[in-house]
Amino acid sequence: MGNAGLIVFMYVGIGLLIMGFSVLLFMVKFELGPVSNLSPGRRWLMTLVLGSGMVAFSIKLFILATLVKFPDLTIKWSIAEQKGPLVVDWEQLNKDAPGIRLPGIQQAYVWRTLPDRAPFPAWNPTTPEKVALGKRLFHDKALSIDRTLSCSSCHDVLNGAGEDHRSGSLGVGGQVGGRNAPTVWNSGFQSVLFWDGRAASLEDQAIGPPLNPVEMGMPSAEAVEQRIRDNPSYREPFARAFGADQPITIKQITAAIAAYERTLITTDTPYDRFVRGDEEALSKAQLRGMALFQSVGCILCHAGPNFSAASVFDPPQEPRRLFPVFDSPKYMTRYNLLKDTGSNPSGSKQAAWRVPSLRNVALTAPYLHNGSVDNLSEVVRIMATVQRGKRISNDVNDNKTIVWSGQDKTLARIESAPLSDRDVNDLVEFLKSLSSDSLLARSKSGAL
Ligand code: HEC
Ligand code: HEC
């Protein structure tokens, strides 16, 4: 819509205004004037008073109509900063990429890019001084009892993708933990942290590892404070970050680490470039994968710009989900997935976990809370089967599933297209589009 459209629109508006005024003049001269016996001067006054209301109203209408009709020319500059959401035309995408099945796409899902700044709590704004201090603390081995481990030992952010590539992390004294280390990249956008979502903020989270006996093994928060106070070179940076005359406290230590973590953001991905308008950014397979990611319902849990319902983006959703939703003894036994039940009480038949972000997932094997699966395609099969009740089959006519409901004692037939190996592959390709270029370049140069 160009300037020509705007000019026609303005002419029509001005024409209508002139018409309105003529009607008003006509009414005052031949109707209202004679009835109320006004002098010619007062008739003009009356026309002016009535007319000014009309003009004000038309100006309002005009402004509103222009904003609505020409958002590109009027309000786009003010929303450009937010790197606007992109609504994908699924019908067109489906036509462009024949072969994909998109059952049940009823509404357009808004695919969004990550903002380049993470939100922070009001009491702990992200300042450059705090970030610099937090970065130093994150890499300081003084936070562990035997001075062998820093946060970055398990969350390698300088040379890796923010984790350690192990199923269970290696803590002090060679102890192996029961859970996989998630990446800290983009954790600033998560609404709750840890696999089971037990920490409500990065500040709360950061006190966990130093005091965890199988991670950094410090005896108490006071001991952590003392370690940092003992190092005189920390005085100046703490004073700059928090003000000169305060003693170093655990609250400041965790606040600085959290501020640093909030700057660990990756928006340099093919997916984000695609959402910002670069149509060439995704391959055909990735586009099909993206469509499947929606139609299969991965977005029910891995929703929003950080691909996790447990993130700070609207609308707020339940951050923890059952896993498995559909029983699949095959996968559950093979990968020992029910030993740890996450945030559900132990002994429960179903486990519940915080929905993890899928950004950089192709760079952060092994997968799941216990790091039991080392291949992304297998995780996608598990997710499709146990979270969405899908079958994996290459037989295109095989779209009837018979389900036995033990509770109702009935057999039901559900029509649902299975996922083919190609579909699984396309989903994996799409997940690869969430990898940051810079993290990927490091992995190619052998650093990961
Ligand atoms: C011994 C390895 C190890 C060390 C050292 C370590 N972590 Fe972790 N980190 C883990 C593991 C394992 C988890 C997952 C634990 C869980 O969910 O129960 C985790 C989880 C996290 C998370 C949550 C991420 C998310 O998406 O939920 C953050 C943030 C984090 N660590 C930051 C830190 C910070 C800050 C430090 C240093 C103070 C640190 N870690 C030290 C292994 C480690
Ligand atoms: C009902 C909610 C739900 C749905 C639907 C769902 N997921 Fe998940 N996803 C989860 C949860 C919860 C976890 C963590 C499970 C665990 O670690 O034990 C997870 C983990 C993952 C992981 C591993 C992440 C990591 O870092 O280890 C991948 C990859 C993944 N999902 C992809 C998908 C794909 C692809 C789909 C669609 C086929 C999908 N998910 C559908 C809830 C869901």
Whichever domain contains 204, its CATH number is 1.10.760.10
Tell me, in angstroms, the distance from the centre of ligand 1 to residue 301's CA: 22
- At residue 400, the pLDDT reads 65
Does some domain include residue 344? no
Q: Nearest ligand, CA of residue 361? A: 2
Does some domain include residue 9? yes
pLDDT above 70: residue 80: no
pLDDT above 90: residue 239: yes
394 plus 438 within the same structural domain: yes
Query: pLDDT per residue over 266-299, tens digit each?
Result: 999 999 999 888 889 999 999 999 989 988 889 9
- At residue 76, the pLDDT reads 53
Does some domain include residue 336? no
Tell me, in angstroms, the distance from the centre of ligand 1 to residue 185's CA: 12
Tell me, in angstroms, the distance from the centre of ligand 2 to residue 331's CA: 14
- Distance between CA 26 and CA 24 in Å, rounded? 5
Q: Find the mean pLDDT for residues 182-208.
A: 95
Of 102-116, 363-377, 410-424, minimum mean pLDDT range? 102-116
Of 22-31, 210-219, 233-242, minimum mean pLDDT range? 22-31
- Which ligand 1 atom is the nearest neighbour of the CA of 171? 1
**Please, which pLDDT band fits residue 6 given cuts at 50, 70 and 90?**
low
Does some domain include residue 365? yes
- Distance between CA 169 and CA 185 in Å, rounded? 17
272 plus 370 within the same structural domain: yes
Give the whole-number percent of the chain exceeding pLDDT 70. Answer: 85
197 contacts: CB under 8 Å, gap ≥ 6: 310, 319, 320, 343, 353, 354
146 plus 186 within the same structural domain: yes
pLDDT above 70: residue 342: yes
- Distance between CA 325 and CA 144 in Å, rounded? 38
Q: Find the mean pLDDT for residues 295-315.
A: 90
Residue 60 belongs to what domain range?
A: 3-81
141 plus 285 within the same structural domain: no
Q: Which residues line ligand 1 (CB under 6 A)?
A: 138, 143, 149, 151, 153-155, 169, 171, 177, 179, 181-182, 184, 187, 190, 193-195, 202, 205-206, 209-210, 215-216, 257, 261
Tell me, in angstroms, the distance from the centre of ligand 1 to residue 179's CA: 10
Q: Which residues line ligand 2 (CB under 6 A)?
A: 195, 296-298, 300-302, 321, 323, 325, 353, 355-356, 358, 361, 364, 367-369, 379-380, 383-384, 387-388, 427
Q: Find the mean pLDDT for residues 107-121.
A: 84
The residue count for the chain: 448
228 plus 278 within the same structural domain: no
Q: Find the mean pLDDT for residues 143-147.
A: 96
- At residue 198, the pLDDT reads 94
Q: Find the mean pLDDT for residues 167-193.
A: 92
pLDDT above 80: residue 194: yes
Q: How many CB atoms lie within 10 A of CB 212?
A: 16
**Residues 282, 111 contacting (CB under 8 angstroms):** no
* Among 103-117, 122-136, 394-408, the range of highest mean pLDDT: 122-136
pLDDT above 70: residue 106: no
Q: Nearest ligand, CA of residue 149? A: 1
The interaxial angle of helices 250-261 and 128-138, nearest 10 deg, is 100
Of 239-253, 254-268, 409-423, minimum mean pLDDT range? 409-423
- Distance between CA 184 and CA 48 in Å, rounded? 67
- At residue 82, the pLDDT reads 36
Q: Find the mean pLDDT for residues 179-205.
A: 95
Tell me, in angstroms, the distance from the centre of ligand 1 to residue 115's CA: 23
Q: Find the mean pLDDT for residues 101-112.
A: 60
Q: Find the mean pLDDT for residues 337-356.
A: 89
Does some domain include residue 339? no
- At residue 404, the pLDDT reads 65
Does some domain include residue 392? yes
- As a three-state string, the secondary structure of the chain is CCHHHHHHHHHHHHHHHHHHHHHHHHHHHHHHHHHHCCCHHHHHHHHHHHHHHHHHHHHHHHHHHHHHHCHHHHCHHHHHHHCCCEECCHHHHHHHCCCCCCCCCCCCCEECCCCCCCCCCCCCCCCHHHHHHHHHHHCCHHHCCCCCCCHHHHCCCCCCCCCCCCCCCECHHHCECCCCCCCCCCHHHECCECCCCCECCHHHHHCHHHHCCCCCCCCCHHHHHHHHHCCHHHHHHHHHHHCCCCCCCHHHHHHHHHHHHCCCCCCCCHHHHHHCCCCCCCCHHHHHHHHHHHHCCHHHCCCCCCCCCCECCCCCCCCEEEECCCCCHHHHHHCCCCCCCECCCCCCCCEEEECCCCCCHHHCCCECCCCCECCHHHHHHHHHHHHHCCCECCCCCCCEEEEEECCCCEEEEEECCCECHHHHHHHHHHHHCCCCHHHHHHHHCCCC
**Residues 325, 389 contacting (CB under 8 angstroms):** yes
| CA dist list (Å): 360 to 110, 287, 415, 431, 437 | 20, 17, 34, 8, 10
Number of structural domains in the chain:
3
Q: Find the mean pLDDT for residues 208-217.
A: 95
**Please, which pLDDT band fits residue 139 given cuts at 50, 70 and 90?**
very high
- Distance between CA 35 and CA 43 in Å, rounded? 11
173 plus 241 within the same structural domain: yes
Tokens of 367: 């997968």
Q: Find the mean pLDDT for residues 108-127.
A: 88
| The domain boundary residue, chosen from 47, 81, 115 | 81
- What DSSP character marks residue 31? I
* Maximum pairwise Cα distance, the chain: 103
47 plus 143 within the same structural domain: no
Q: Nearest ligand, CA of residue 135? A: 1
User: To test ligand 1's pocket by mutation, which of 169, 198, 360 has the most ligand atoms within 8 angstroms of CB?
Assistant: 169
- Which ligand 1 atom is the nearest neighbour of the CA of 369? 17
286 plus 364 within the same structural domain: yes
Nearest residue (by CA) to ligand 1, atom 12, is 181
Of 13-27, 45-59, 67-81, 277-291, minimum mean pLDDT range? 67-81
Nearest residue (by CA) to ligand 1, atom 37, is 151
- At residue 55, the pLDDT reads 81
Query: pLDDT per residue over 377-434, tens digit each?
Result: 999 999 999 999 888 888 867 766 666 666 667 776 666 778 999 999 999 999 999 9
Does some domain include residue 322? no
- At residue 403, the pLDDT reads 64
Q: Nearest ligand, CA of residue 427? A: 2
Report how far Cα 437 is from the mean position of its chain's Cα atoms.
18
Q: What is the pTM of this model?
A: 0.79
Average pLDDT value over all residues in the chain: 85
Would you please indicate which residues are annotated as catalytic (active-site) residues?
Answer: 215
pLDDT above 80: residue 89: no
143 plus 206 within the same structural domain: yes
DSSP 213-238: TTTT--S-HHHHHHHHHT-GGGHHHH
| The domain boundary residue, chosen from 261, 288, 316 | 261
101 plus 233 within the same structural domain: no
290 plus 414 within the same structural domain: yes
- At residue 279, the pLDDT reads 84
Does some domain include residue 122? no
151 plus 132 within the same structural domain: yes
- What DSSP character marks residue 350? S
